[in-house]
Structure 1
Amino acid sequence: MKKGILILAGVFAMTVMSCKDNAAEKVKEENVEIAADRDAKNADFPVMTFTKTEHDFGTINEGDVVEHKFEFTNTGKAPLVIVSAKGSCGCTVPEWPKDPIAPGATGEMLVKFNSNGKPNQQTKQVTITANTEAGKEILKIKAMVTPKAKPVSGTPVSE
């Protein structure tokens, strides 16, 4: 008990001591101007322009695995590099091009959805990390999943 109180007191003291400097005061105005100039000159970002960012699979049966290809074009002025794409759960798996997409070129993002164990209305998203100005792009899928029929309990088993 005493050790716990001493540890908490130590953590509190370190927190209070480390927060007394105002970090904003340490920023030099000339560095802010240099960064603003640098960022203004580097406006040539790739841009992921999708034909659509949402897809509705409609009504599917629980256990179905469905997929959709999201098509996009790099409408920016620099090559597009997709670093990663991640589904909001393990049931949503994206596949993306690993090579850079040149300005004006097109690409596809394949999104697979496994509805096993996912009854009723489902809405999932894929977060894409790329070298775009925003750094992240979002795709959404949805489906109404018809639940599997459950066996009725108490029914005699016929032999």
Structure 2
Amino acid sequence: MKHVFSFLLALLVAAAAQAQGMLKFEQELHDFGSVPEGTMATHEFKFRNVGNQPVIIANVQASCGCTTPDWTKTPVLPGKTGIVKAVYSSAGRPGIFNKTVTVTSNAASPSTVLTIKGNVLNKEQVKSTLTPAQLAQSPRLVLDRTTHDFGKMEAGQAPVARFTVKNTGKQELVLGAITSQCYCVGYRNVPSPIKPGQSATVELVYSQRKLGTQAEPVVITSNDLNGDAKLTLKATVVQDLNAGSMVKESGASVPFK
């Protein structure tokens, strides 16, 4: 009887060990080839759960801050598919790149490393490969203005500046990353590719904490081969806006009501 119980227990343990989800990726390496600088190189790694239990991806960690991952957040049932997306920001990074994203899940193999690689060409390199006729067909980025003044703002606030971007070229305009010396400017929304002759609103968030009068140069990269768009965000940054609303009355400081 004891041997029968041990045998049954062994069967249960073996069955439990086999009852697991399993991720099978269509590919674990993607080569972008040549990528024009300023674009966001994006690839979706597709996978299928070939196991017999649901798989939940707990985290996807990129090997550098230049790569942004995203993935299927809901449980992937047996036989179903999902994706892990990797977005490489090529702005200011000409040359060869080789980056990884590590997928952690409750699958039988709890860790999978995916790789993206390619070669970022600067705009002069890209232009050298095109004919004059091809250059004439390229997109053109035109801003409605090149300066925005927030006026007085409190340190730690994140006001938004809205710019209108028009594509006066003959191909779709794709906006890339934003660069600034303060690393305090980012998109609140990134518009979809802008068709020739069309316009879109771009919202830039300014999170400046340095006090005083500021004038921050900002560069918006894109696939416009004529160059990147440059603008300036201005502000007078104070520690506390309420402190500026005090006036002297009868020798005492009294706030406005």
**Which interval holds the TM-score relative to the shorter structure?**
0.5 to 0.7
TM-score by length of 2: 0.41
Count of residues in Structure 1 that have an aligned counterpart in Structure 2: 113
Residues 1:45 and 2:13 aligned together: no
1:39 is displaced (CA, Å) by 6.0
1:69 is displaced (CA, Å) by 1.1
- Out of 18, 27, 34, the residue aligned to residue 59 of structure 1 is 34
Residues 1:123 and 2:98 aligned together: yes
Return the alpha-carbon distance in structure 2 between the equivalents of residues 148 and 39 of structure 1.
Answer: 60
Structure 1 residues 116 and 100, CA gap change in structure 2 (3 angstroms): same
Residues 1:106 and 2:81 aligned together: yes
Q: Aligned residue for 2:147?
A: none
Return the alpha-carbon distance in structure 2 between the equivalents of residues 58 and 129 of structure 1.
Answer: 27
1:42 is displaced (CA, Å) by 2.3
More helix by share: 1
Q: Secondary structure at the match of 1:52?
A: coil
The unaligned stretches of length 5 or more in structure 2 are 1-9, 125-257
Counterpart AA for 2:64:
C
> % of aligned pairs identical?
36
Q: Aligned residue for 2:206?
A: none
Q: Aligned residue for 2:116?
A: 141
Q: Aligned residue for 1:82?
A: 57
Alignment RMSD (CA, Å): 1.7
Q: Secondary structure at the match of 2:91?
A: coil
Return the alpha-carbon distance in structure 1 between the equivalents of residues 82 and 117 of structure 2.
Answer: 22
Q: Secondary structure at the match of 1:85?
A: strand
Return the alpha-carbon distance in structure 1 between the equivalents of residues 20 and 68 of structure 2.
Answer: 27
Return the alpha-carbon distance in structure 1 between the equivalents of residues 69 and 37 of structure 2.
Answer: 20
1:148 is displaced (CA, Å) by 5.3
More strand by share: 2
Residues 1:92 and 2:55 aligned together: no
The unaligned stretches of length 5 or more in structure 1 are 1-36, 150-159
Counterpart AA for 2:109:
A
Higher relative contact order structure (alpha carbons within 8 Å, sequence separation ≥ 6): 1
User: 1:16-27 to 2 correspondence within 5 Å?
Assistant: none
TM-score by length of 1: 0.65
Counterpart AA for 2:118:
A
1:134 is displaced (CA, Å) by 2.5
Counterpart AA for 2:122:
P
Deviations 1:63-108, CA, capped at 9 Å, x for gaps: 2211011111000111000001011101111111111000000111
Counterpart AA for 2:101:
V
Return the alpha-carbon distance in structure 2 between the equivalents of residues 76 and 134 of structure 1.
Answer: 11
Instruction: Give structure 1 regions of 4+ aligned residues with deviation exceeding 6 angstroms.
Output: none
